[in-house]
Amino acid sequence: MRNYILGALSGVAGAALYTLAPALAWYYWLMFVGGCFLIAFSFDVIFGSLQEHQQRAAWMGGLLFGGPGVVLQALVWGLGV
């Protein structure tokens, strides 16, 4: 269910990005997809590690993968739009 919600949010964000900036360069779309992938993977790392009772690994993995994902999304939404 979590991955479905993340996919739906990514789809809505992609549709909004296309609506706001239809002539966006290809590398912004690549950064957008990469950022969505990194954020989704960080959620999987966090929840998987917490299920295995590894709290430090959960938050380190979340920062390691989610941080660059958020930075990529900020670049796309800040510079691309």
pLDDT, residue 81, reads 83
Q: What is the pLDDT of residues 6-63, one digit of tens each?
A: 999 999 999 999 999 999 999 999 999 999 999 999 999 999 999 999 999 999 999 9
Instruction: Tally the domains of the chain.
Output: 1
Q: What is the 3-state secondary structure (H, E, C) of the chain?
A: CHHHHHHHHHHHHHHHHHHHCCCCCHHHHHHHHHHHHHHHHHHHHHHHHHHCCCHHHHHHHHHHHHHHHHHHHHHHHHHHC
**For residue 43, what are the domain limits?**
2-80
